[in-house]
Amino acid sequence: MEFFEKVFDVIMTKQIFGTAMVILVTFILISIFNKGIEKIMVKGKTSFEIKRRKTIIKVFQSVFKYVLLIIAFLIILDFYGVDTKSLIASLGVAGVVLGLALQDTVKDLISGMMLIMENYLAVGDTVTYNDFTGEVIELGLRTTKIKGFDGEVMIVANRNIDTIINASQKKATLYINIPTAYEEKVDKVEKVLTEVIEEAKKDKVVLPDSAYLGVNGLESNAVNYLIYVVCNQDDRYKVNREILKRVKLAYDQAKIKIPYEQVEVHHGKDI
């Protein structure tokens, strides 16, 4: 019995029990903060706003976690008799020295915070850096990772982000030419294409500004009819394919011909 009492006394010391409680409370607070900020910042928002806010949420969660861990570490050191005040003062001086030695890193951190807070970039945005175009897959405090359409990943220091073009900050506009056989009546074709666009608006495939514009060219083997499509940048390729699919189906139903090249082959004896 005396042995267990000694073990209990040791466990209940601030070095052991206090350390365990500090660690437990720290991780509970981190968990509560992570869940709480997600609910607050994405509740009632559109999918576009949620994508941007999630980037900010990750940074806040990361900063909050490391701040709490540092505080918990200092409290635990205090339990073991370490002079934390002197340690904090020493860390302050060391921080100034490191700041001077790591100026580029500090610039990256500041630029990263500004990018996130000002919504200049967000995970999922389509961007162009120099001649490299791709999707932002990670936005950190020091670097931004961009994945190209062929799978390559470019890592850009945040201090250089001022040279990046963000295509997701505006709506995409597509001009789609629909080649149609000359023998088809213009009024009939225009009616079908107008209906295609109106149906696409009702189905929310395209945005309301989309429209059929008219005849756009008289080629050697076809009349080009022009469709104007407005959509989100991230959906432009998908929308382009969907509109072409709908036009093809509508043309088939209305028995409107789409011209294609044909080659006639003659045998010498038949000429």
Averaged pLDDT for residues 11-18: 68
Residue 233 has pLDDT above 80, yes or no: no
Averaged pLDDT for residues 153-180: 82
DSSP percent split of the chain into helix, strand, coil, nearest 5: 60, 20, 25
Residue 177 has pLDDT above 90, yes or no: yes
Averaged pLDDT for residues 92-120: 61
Of 69-73, 186-190, 228-232, the range with the lowest mean pLDDT is 69-73
Residue 123 has pLDDT above 80, yes or no: no
Nearest-CA neighbor of 26 among 77, 64, 83, 79? Answer: 64
Q: What is the pLDDT of residue 104?
A: 62
Residue 93 has pLDDT above 60, yes or no: no
Averaged pLDDT for residues 62-71: 82
Domain ranges (residues) in the chain: 2-101, 120-168, 172-254
Most confidently modeled of 16-20, 236-240, 246-250?
246-250
pLDDT, one tens digit per residue, over 34-50 is: 888 777 665 555 555 56
The amino acid at residue 104 is: D
Q: What is the pLDDT of residue 253?
A: 94
Confidence of residue 240 (pLDDT cuts 50, 70, 90): very high
Averaged pLDDT for residues 79-85: 73
Q: What is the pLDDT of residue 43?
A: 56
pTM of the shown model = 0.48
Indicate the fold that domain 120-168 takes in CATH: SH3 type barrels. (2.30.30)
Q: What is the pLDDT of residue 259?
A: 87
Q: Which architecture, in CATH terms, is 172-254?
A: 2-Layer Sandwich (3.30)
Q: What is the pLDDT of residue 243?
A: 94
DSSP letter (8 states) at residue 184:
S
Nearest-CA neighbor of 211 among 169, 176, 249? Answer: 176
pLDDT, one tens digit per residue, over 186-197 is: 999 999 999 999
CB-based burial label for 136 (10 Å; 0-12, 13-18, 19+): buried
Confidence of residue 110 (pLDDT cuts 50, 70, 90): low
Mean pLDDT over the full length of the chain: 78
Q: What is the pLDDT of residue 227?
A: 94
Residue 109 has pLDDT above 70, yes or no: no
Q: What is the pLDDT of residue 134?
A: 87
Q: Which CATH class is domain 2-101?
A: mainly alpha
The 10 Å Cβ neighbour count of residue 129 is 16
Residue 10 has pLDDT above 90, yes or no: no
Selected residue with higher pLDDT from 46 and 148: 148
The helix/strand/coil state of 241 is helix
